[in-house]
Structure 1
Amino acid sequence: MPHPSATKVLVIGYVWPEPRSSAAGGHVMQLLETFLGQGWDITFSSPANPGENRADLIALGIREVPIELNSSRFDAFIRELAPDIVLFDQFMMEEQFGWRVEKNCPHALRVLETSDLQSLRHARHQRLKDRLKVDDVSQDFSDVFAPALHEEFALMAGTDLAQREIAALYRCDLNLMVSEVEIELLVEHFKLPRSLLLWCPLMLDLPSEPLVPFEERAHFLSIGNFRHAPNWDAVLWMKNAIWPLIRQQLPGAQLHLYGAYTPPKAAALHNPAQGFHIMNWAEDALQVMSAARVCLAPLRFGAGIKGKLIESMLCGTPNVTTPIGAEAMYGELPWPGSIAQSAEDIARAAVQLYSDPVRWTEAQDAGLALLANRYQRQVHGPALIESITACRAELAQRRRDNFTGSMLRHHQHKSTQYMSQWIEEKNRNA
């Protein structure tokens, strides 16, 4: 049990964390584990219904308290809890509950876990859809994959989603960013103070067991939550364009696609005769990844960093992805596999990795080096705690310096407060 004087943390989750279903869920669990390592007293709340793959937080010593949207009962709950730190999981939770946190616990540090920039992901999705309306024949997407940051800004800036999301970032005292590219976009083009942003990627322990060698592996693998639009788009691109090219060169090749929450439209793609297998949810993602020879992640849009590619490195499984998939993940280091921009090049790289043990082993080694250089828990965990501690010590000054955030809180929270109170009254009289 935490000490009675321990720092109190309230995490308000968009969903109950499912670390085996998504990278976002995994990152939230890594944050919770880091806080637990400090002996902090943690309460996790969410207005969402529990998912079937949710983590057992109670077993970790974390208190679970369901909450409701547009309900003044949250006010009484947070006043009694009196947290020192409130972490919002995704900006929508800051929109919903931020004004209540400020009203009832004005001195609590407000931290936003972004997972990725949703407005960037949505803008890239729109760019892809616009491209496909004009040209759905060419399978070379170099024009989609290579925009400069000022072009991304121009695509995002006028959208309602970007204005909501960037405002939430300003209103918080600290924002956790998994992608250095997104930090540069926010600082250079949206003009957020760099002091509001902390690079906090996935925090991992390096593999301690020997990796499965080339000759003991078989098949291609793709993995990802089917509810996540970039993953579903990648499945369709593989089915319609990439996998037929691989099968032309490797007629006996098999592709196993694992994903949480398999919808009927995904199950309908199952075709053993074509070597295209929809495998549903993987009970142990690392186990199935360790048995595969090559991981395919042909993402045509997205944001953040990709948990499936981190898992491939942890398991020593070389991967083939796109510039979107590899974005912000490897710095100046060699990529542990191949990065390609067309269906033809992806297929060619996949076949080469699958067939060449020397190239494959080099890619496996590159993955381990990349993990050690950029994703070690013992580096990013202490950096996170140090940043939070400094923010708490300088909170009044930080808020004075962030006048834009204070202004946005004043106006946005008033409008959100009145809307929420109107909805609550409407529900009460329904």
Structure 2
Amino acid sequence: MTTLLAEKVLIIGYVWPEPNSSAAGTRMMQLIHSLQAQACEICFASPAKPGEHQFDLHSLGIQQQEILLNDSSFDDFLRQFQPGLVIFDRFMMEEQFGWRVEKHCPNALRILNTEDLHSLREVRQQMLKDAVKEDALGHHLQPALCQDSMTLFNKMSGSDLAIREISAILRCDLTLMISAFETNLLQTAFNLAPQLLFTLPFIYPDASPNSKPSFENRQHFICIGNFRHAPNWDAVLTLKHIWPQIRQALPNAELHIYGAYPPKKATELHNAKQGFYVKGWADDALTVVKSAKVMLAPLRFGAGIKGKLAEAMLCGTPSVTTPLGAESMCQSIEEWNGAVVDSLDAFVEQAIALYQNPEIWQAAQLKGDALFEAQFAKKSFYEQALFERIQVLQNHLTEERKRNFTGKMLRHHLHKSTQYMAQWIEAKNKLPPAQTPNTDP
């Protein structure tokens, strides 16, 4: 295994990691475990409020540091900790803290962890809204061309979010992409240099567990996902719409919907008589997924790789999803552990077939085992490749930054404006409250 040159790693998180709440939390913990295997001293810092389900990083010997936006106390912290590697978890953290890192730790390698392309998700969501408004979807689950690179480029290039996100990528030494589709989109449509991007999917242990309940020992459908994530909530509403058709064919079946932070509008959908159960938070997501017979994920927009679907494969649970749901997870839909469909009628049909036919179900599970081994059970392979790339960057950082002249220009202009704005906000916050004149008679 390649050894990192950086002994100290600072991760600046948009939120505190919650691996049982979201795929993003799982991804972050996978990164942390990989860095710990390199004997790095890790500090996780975030300006976010503590989360209800956040992981206890102290239990792993990781320092937790609460930081403030627009406050020079972060500069003092940087000078004291002196990281050799800084990971910005999502582009907003690079925007806020990138200039401070460059100023006080100029030789630290700067890596952006995207989770997924936020601007791609936003554009696809807008495409869905436009299609619904124009009544152009018909029985289809998602708009046509939502995976066409040039269509996406034309829409994303007019998005402020895309400009901000891709600018952050250019300002960093390396960006971790979870989806090969998104890596290809950035390289071919946006002309980003390949050396700036590294595709790192979910990385699970090199062998999946063998203990998977059989068809006969499972029951019910499952849908799982953080309710604060817009594509997940949209999927729940889609399931509410089509569940009566599934229930009519399978009157004893139930749909169990799990996810962190369910709002009142979600819990109000709970209807035991119809077999539609909104369960909310799951203490152990893998346990509930493993006990279910079929996972349903009618995802109509979104980006990245879907952690729920990767973990369904890990648990031997067949799934029904959309082309967007399966994006970057298989070479062809024939490999999928269940069904990949683009219409509501086909979704219902495939869900019923998987649930009631043990031969179809077992064939799907075997496909999932093979797909998981091919796509995700390569922890040592991906870690080795990532740390080799990082080591090359560390050894040739000056030369690599010269090659990325666009990034240098963006850092110069944006960081100067961000720096002055942050300093102005900090100075303003330190002013005493304005005195209100006494108007009493």
Would you call these one fold, judging by a TM-score over 0.5? yes
Partner of 1:233: 234
Cα distance in 1 for partners of 2:147, 2:209 equals 39
Cα distance in 1 for partners of 2:142, 2:287 equals 33
Amino acid at match of 2:386: L
Q: Is the 1:128–1:144 contact (alpha carbons within 8 Å) kept by the matching residues of 2?
A: no
Q: Is the 1:175–1:197 contact (alpha carbons within 8 Å) kept by the matching residues of 2?
A: yes
Post-superposition CA distance 1:69-108 (Å, at most 9, x none)? 0000101110111110000000000000000000101110
Q: Is the 1:179–1:304 contact (alpha carbons within 8 Å) kept by the matching residues of 2?
A: yes
Percent same amino acid among aligned pairs? Answer: 53
Cα distance in 2 for partners of 1:379, 1:140 equals 38
Cα distance in 2 for partners of 1:162, 1:275 equals 41
Cα distance in 1 for partners of 2:145, 2:59 equals 43
Partner of 1:258: 258
Give the CA deviation at 1:141.
3.2
Bigger drift between 247-256 and 67-76 goes to 247-256
Partner of 2:381: 379
Structure 1 regions of 5+ residues with no counterpart?
none
Summarize the alignment of residues 167-178 of structure 1 with structure 2, pairs less than 5 Å apart. 167-178=167-178
Q: Which has the larger radius of gyration?
A: 2
Cα distance in 2 for partners of 1:129, 1:398 equals 42
Cα distance in 2 for partners of 1:157, 1:99 equals 25
Cα distance in 1 for partners of 2:92, 2:170 equals 14
User: Is the alpha carbon distance of 1:145 and 1:348 closer, same or farther for their aligned partners in structure 2, counting shifts above 3 Å?
Assistant: farther
Partner of 1:57: 57
User: Is 2:332 the counterpart of 1:334?
Assistant: no
Partner of 1:218: 219
Give the CA deviation at 1:225.
0.1
Cα distance in 1 for partners of 2:303, 2:337 equals 20
Partner of 2:324: 324
Amino acid at match of 1:7: E
Give the CA deviation at 1:331.
2.5
Q: Is the 1:145–1:300 contact (alpha carbons within 8 Å) kept by the matching residues of 2?
A: no
- Secondary structure, aligned partner of 1:323: coil
Post-superposition CA distance 1:345-395 (Å, at most 9, x none)? 101000011111111111111111111112121221222211111111111
Post-superposition CA distance 1:184-207 (Å, at most 9, x none)? 110111111010000100000232
Amino acid at match of 2:302: G
Partner of 1:344: 345
Cα distance in 1 for partners of 2:121, 2:248 equals 33
Partner of 1:119: 119
Q: Is the 1:123–1:155 contact (alpha carbons within 8 Å) kept by the matching residues of 2?
A: yes
Summarize the alignment of residues 25-424 of structure 1 with structure 2, pairs less than 5 Å apart. 25-135=25-135, 138-141=138-141, 143-144=143-144, 146-205=146-205, 206-240=207-241, 242-332=242-332, 334-375=335-376, 376-424=378-426
Cα distance in 1 for partners of 2:294, 2:240 equals 16
- Secondary structure, aligned partner of 1:75: helix
> Which stretches of structure 1, 4 residues or more, deviate above 4 A after TM superposition?
none
Give the CA deviation at 1:251.
2.0
User: TM-score w.r.t. structure 1 length?
Assistant: 0.97
Cα distance in 1 for partners of 2:214, 2:291 equals 9
